[in-house]
Amino acid sequence: MELQIYIDGKWYPKSEAKISVFDHGLLYGDGVFEGIRSYRGLVFKFKEHLDRLWESAHTIMLEIPMTRKEMEDAVIETLRRNKILDSYIRLVVTRGIGDLGLSPWLCKKPTVFIITDKIALYPKELYQKGLEVITVPTVRNLPEAVNPSIKSLNYLNNIMAKIEAKNGGCMEALMLNHQGYVAECTGDNVFMIKKTGKGTAVRDFLLLTPPAYLGALKGITRSAILEVARKLRLPSEERILTRHDFFNADEVFLTGTAAEVIPVVKIDGRKIGEGKPGRITRLLLKGFHELTRRDGVRYTL
C-alpha cells in the first residue's frame, strides 16, 4: 500500500500529496515543524514535541488551526493508516496560501501536513565506530535574528553548514555562534563528557552541553539525555564551551530525534579520548532506549 499523507484533515497517497506553489512555507520558509519518533507503538515525548511546536508557532504569530488533541489524533491516525509502529513523524504547519509578497496576513488559513515514514541519518556502523565531525565557517543563527529555538521551516543556515561538512569529507558539522563558542551541529545537539574524579564510577565524570541561549535548539532528545543523566547520578551542566574544550573531552556524542544518540570520535582531526565510543556514552544510550519504551503516548494499529 502506498504511504498515506495527512493534509488539512484528509489523507492522500504519497504520489498525490500536494500543496500549493503559493504556500508561504514553500515560498519563504514561513512555518514551523517537529520531527518526532515512535517506538514499538509509543510516540516518544509526544507532549513535549507538541509544546515546542505551539511555542514556535506562537513566536512567529502563526495560529495552528486545530487543537492539540486534534493534532495528536491526526498523528495517531496517520500512523495507523500506514501500519507503522516504529516511525519518524514529520509534523508541519505552514503559513498557508498567500500571494507572491511577504505579507503573512494575506495567508487566510495555515496548512498542516503529517508524514509518517522511516529515516536513517547515519549508517549503522557509525553508531558502533563513532562519527568524525569538522567545524565549519557558517555560524549558527543569532537569537536576535532567526532564533534557533524556533523550529522553523527556514533551515538554510543548517543546510549551508551541512554542505561545508560534506565538502570537508564529513557527514556532520560543528557550528559555532557569532562569538566563537560551540552552539550545536547542523541538526543535532552536542554533548561532551569529562573525567573529574580519580575513580571510574559515574559520579567521577561530568556531562556538559552548550546552553540554548548560545544558539542551540532546545532538543527533546537533549532533554531526555539530561533526564537519563539525573537517574544515573551523572553530574551534568549547561556550560559555555569552546572547541578547545571539545578537543580535550574524554567522550563526545550528538543527540537528535532522527539521529538519536551517536558517538563522535574525532573533531577537526583531533582524536577524542581513546578514539572510540566511550563507556558513559553507552550507559546514556542504554538509558535513553529504556526511556523510549515508556515515556510518550501509546497507540495500536
Catalytic residue numbers read: 151
Q: Which helix (H) or strand (E) holds 270?
A: strand 270-271
Inter-helix orientation angle 279-291/220-232, to 10°: 110
Q: How far is CA 47 from CA 22, 43, 119, 179, in A?
A: 31, 9, 21, 34
**Per-residue cell: 74:** 491526526
Q: Where are the beta strands (DSSP E) in 118-212?
A: 131-135, 172-176, 182-185, 189-195, 205-209
Closest to 19 measured CA to CA, from 98, 131, 97, 121: 97
Phi, psi angles (nearest 5°) of residue 299: -150, 160
Q: For the stretch 170-185, what's the b/e string if a residue is b when 16 or more beta carbons lie within 10 angstroms of its beta carbon? A: bbbbbbbbeeebbbbb
Q: Which helix (H) or strand (E) holds 36?
A: strand 31-39
Closest to 209 measured CA to CA, from 229, 193, 224: 193
**Per-residue cell: 198:** 580519580
Cα angle vertex 230, ends 129, 262, to 5°?
A: 15
**Per-residue cell: 67:** 487543537
Q: For the stretch 70-80, what's the b/e string if a residue is b when 16 or more beta carbons lie within 10 angstroms of its beta carbon? A: ebbebbbbbbe
Cβ(48)–Cβ(220) below 8 Å: yes
